[in-house]
Structure 1
Amino acid sequence: MTDTSETRSADSTAHSTQQSRLHRLMRYLPLIAPVLLWTVPCWVLLHTGQHWPLPVTLAGTALFALGLIGMPLAMIRGHGRRQQDWAAIVGDTLLGTIWTLFTWSVVLGVPLRLALTGVGVGDGQDRARIVTWAVLGAATMLLTWGYAEARRVPRVRRLDVQLARLGAGLDGTRVVLITDTHYGPLDRARWSARVCETVNTLKADLVCHTGDIADGTAEHRRAQAAPLGTVQATRARVYVTGNHEYYSEAQGWVDLMDELGWEPLRNRHLLLERGGDTLVVAGVDDVTAESSGLAGHRAHLAGALHGADPDHPVLLLAHQPKFIDRAAAHGIDLQLSGHTHGGQIWPFHHLVRIDQPALAGLSRHGTRTLLYTSRGTGFWGPPFRVFAPSEITLLVLRSPQRPPTP
């Protein structure tokens, strides 16, 4: 008979070995990923039978090699200790460009080559050159469109959300959600002012910002964030931290938002009352807060709800959708989140879904809890949005007890 303890020990050893290999692989990923991003499109566009003139091949290959070396260096100078905005702009733009070229070299280039071969179009050189021009054309159009989408004032997305416990007195409460503004190396002070003007046209009772205000410290990005002080709401303007605040002196952002007239809901709540009914509006720090080492910062839902009447419906602000498991366990009625950017540049959408339970829109979790995930108001890093439009969200809360429309 096999000793059970020996079997468990062997299984544990095998599992530990597998995890160790995975951790080693993850350590090398920052080195492997840039190489793949730059070499795959270089190979598909220049070295798969195109037979370009030698100067074209050499110049194209040198350009990809320069990008492979220059992009990581620019990202380090731009987002590292030096925080040089010009370098961040160069690195971020290169990242978005090569991600798009890599994607469409694989998604379009390979199937198109097979299709052209299958129908007998031209010889090998003709087919290879058609693939090159098709990929370059598709990438150019998508990047041009994606840049315009990233820099525009977001469209307003409107939807009614029925909450089973919402009293009739609160029916029609207008909640505006902005999130992931990511003020950064590209100066978007004018864009910020136009976003706030759009928010003010929505006549909100409650305006929420669910974090990732900026990339950089509050002192460095103050001019871009200042228009947030002009946002109007009949009841309250509330804010919770996102993970990016913890990369750049989060307490400074909490203090600045307080100065601009927003209420930072750091594991606390306020009450929104109307028509004899009450809505608890609660917020928690981002889930990365505790690991930041910043004293007093952590996601603490029990603390956020302390003293609230458990019979009242709860609207919770939490930056990341993954907090929904804890929210559902506490019977939260509606959680508002951002963080995902809706993927920002397709097909990054699929990678986001590995880490988060929702990508965008309204979803149900458990018997009571709803989650609304915004695609974000701004953009992070690469100034492109491809198949993931930004949004300003207007949620009109509905009570099942409201009188029928005549």
Structure 2
Amino acid sequence: MKYLPRIALFLAIPALLLALPWWTLIGATSSGAVFWIGTAVFLLAYLALPASMFLGHGPAQSDAASIVGDTLLGVLWVLFSWSAIGTVLGFGLAAAGVDERARIVAVAVLAVTVALVAYGVFEARRVPRVRTLEVPIRGLGAGLDGLRLVVVTDTHFAALNRLRWSERVVEVVNSLQPDIACHAGDLADGSVAKRHAQVDPLGKVEAELGRFYITGNHEYFGDAPGWIEHMAGLGWQPLRNQHEVITRGGDRLVLAGIDDPTGAGLPGHGPDLRAALDGAAPDAPVVLLAHQPRQVADAAAAGVALQISGHTHGGQIWPFHYLVRLEQPVVAGLSWHGGTQLYTSRGTGFWGPQLRVFAPSEITVLVLRPE
């Protein structure tokens, strides 16, 4: 009985995503054989989505099922969003007295959906664009002026084999000549045994002053201890509620990292900013790696100069960013929170649906400057 609300929600979401598109494309426009065939297709999608998501992301962990389920989820989200927009358009056409408005809306919604799905797949699978920002840091010494932090995050290596993509991302990162390389969490979905081949190219990243990694929430949906150990084996230093002092030209910077809040359910895991900053030089500015932007509240209270986060994917598939904004203070970009700056990356990869619509991926170069 305790699982009934969860099961009901699991079945209600596909129904919601499908009901409005069914009415837009089938219910309001067709009859006879077209109506029944179209309805059967939507019913099949309704049955396939929860089944494939459960088989793909539940205990079975079927890669084939997860690809089907994730793809359906992404396409249906785009179709639902533009069906909602089409409904508003239909009201406008009705007010203007336009005939055949239901068919006009249906054709427009279908055309836009097809175009955006094609564009979204291209955006998701391409090597991310490089985004470079200069960030003023209070108290940064002259010896650290121009320090280059290259950030990748939310790579989400999963069922789709993206080994070549991983290798090309590493090539881009190395071409940027980072002083420090950072991975801000959500490395992979699945076990080390299944996903390590896609992750292993990260061992070739070159950064003179170090490579640093923190956990995201998705590590804790799988094997977080295994991924922490694996990244350490690739030469990336996990920052688990701890810090390192970066020294150049006689000046110091504290680079700290904390666990994702999801880790609190695993013994010995979970964020502890106080422990991360314990013993840090009080006169050195602090840059903090924290996967979720909402962790900035604690960072601001602790006097952190800059927090680097991911998690949001910039919404990944428009207009999902409006829902992300309900949970996180920022969806993407550089923002101020009290005396603390927060940089939120849109992420380097994608989760689930291989779609990015109006939320391009990025590899980020943060160039630190004295304030």
TM-score by length of 2: 0.97
Tell me which residue corresponds to 1:19. Answer: none
Tell me which residue corresponds to 1:102. Answer: 80
Structure 1 residue 53 displacement after superposition? 4.7
Tell me which residue corresponds to 2:11. Answer: 31
Any idea what the Cα deviations from partners look like across 1:116-146, whole Å, max 9, x if unmatched?
2222222xxx211111100000000011000
Mapped partners of 2:52, 2:309: distance in 1: 31
Tell me which residue corresponds to 2:280. Answer: 308
Please, which moves more after superposition, 54-63 or 352-361?
54-63
Q: 2:242–2:257: 8 Å Cα contact kept in structure 1? A: yes
Residue type at the aligned position of 2:126: R
Q: 2:10–2:50: 8 Å Cα contact kept in structure 1? A: no
**Which residues of structure 1 form unaligned runs of 5+?**
1-23, 401-406
Tell me which residue corresponds to 2:35. Answer: 57
Tell me which residue corresponds to 1:382. Answer: 353
Mapped partners of 2:11, 2:273: distance in 1: 38
Tell me which residue corresponds to 1:92. Answer: 70
Q: 2:48 aligns with which of 63, 70, 76?
A: 70
Residue type at the aligned position of 1:345: I
Q: 1:298 aligns with which of 257, 270, 275?
A: 270
Answering whether residue 323 of structure 2 is matched by residue 356 of structure 1, we say no
Tell me which residue corresponds to 2:107. Answer: 133
Structure 1 residue 342 displacement after superposition? 0.4
Answering whether residue 94 of structure 2 is matched by residue 117 of structure 1, we say yes
- Asked which structure has the greater CA Rg, the reply is 1
Any idea what the Cα deviations from partners look like across 1:229-251, whole Å, max 9, x if unmatched?
01110110000000000011100
Residue type at the aligned position of 1:39: A
Residue type at the aligned position of 1:136: L
Tell me which residue corresponds to 2:20. Answer: 40
Question: What SS class does the counterpart of residue 289 from structure 1 fall into?
Answer: helix
Residue type at the aligned position of 1:57: F
Tell me which residue corresponds to 2:177. Answer: 203
Any idea what the Cα deviations from partners look like across 1:246-287, whole Å, max 9, x if unmatched?
011100000000010000001111111111110000001111
Structure 1 residue 28 displacement after superposition? 4.2
Q: 1:365 aligns with which of 337, 340, 358?
A: 337
Q: 2:211 aligns with which of 229, 234, 237?
A: 237
Mapped partners of 2:270, 2:117: distance in 1: 38
Structure 1 residue 26 displacement after superposition? 7.6
Question: What SS class does the counterpart of residue 190 from structure 1 fall into?
Answer: helix
Any idea what the Cα deviations from partners look like across 1:11-56, whole Å, max 9, x if unmatched?
xxxxxxxxxxxxx9887433322111011110121112x2x35221
Tell me which residue corresponds to 1:18. Answer: none
> Aligned Cα RMSD in Å?
1.4
TM-score by length of 1: 0.89
Mapped partners of 1:218, 1:358: distance in 2: 31
Mapped partners of 2:114, 2:282: distance in 1: 54
Q: 2:127–2:169: 8 Å Cα contact kept in structure 1? A: yes
Mapped partners of 1:269, 1:119: distance in 2: 63
Residue type at the aligned position of 1:347: P
Residue type at the aligned position of 2:94: T
Tell me which residue corresponds to 1:162. Answer: 136
Answering whether residue 323 of structure 2 is matched by residue 320 of structure 1, we say no
Q: 2:345–2:364: 8 Å Cα contact kept in structure 1? A: yes
Structure 1 residue 169 displacement after superposition? 1.1
Number of paired residues?
Answer: 369
Residue type at the aligned position of 1:161: V
Question: What SS class does the counterpart of residue 309 from structure 1 fall into?
Answer: coil
Residue type at the aligned position of 2:14: P
- Written as runs of structure 1 = structure 2, the 5 A alignment for 1:387-402 is 387-400=358-371
Tell me which residue corresponds to 1:347. Answer: 319
Answering whether residue 59 of structure 2 is matched by residue 81 of structure 1, we say yes
Residue type at the aligned position of 1:119: A
Question: Structure 1 vs Structure 2: percent identity of aligned residues?
Answer: 56
Mapped partners of 2:200, 2:278: distance in 1: 32
**Which residues of structure 2 form unaligned runs of 5+?**
none
Answering whether residue 192 of structure 2 is matched by residue 221 of structure 1, we say no
Residue type at the aligned position of 1:341: H
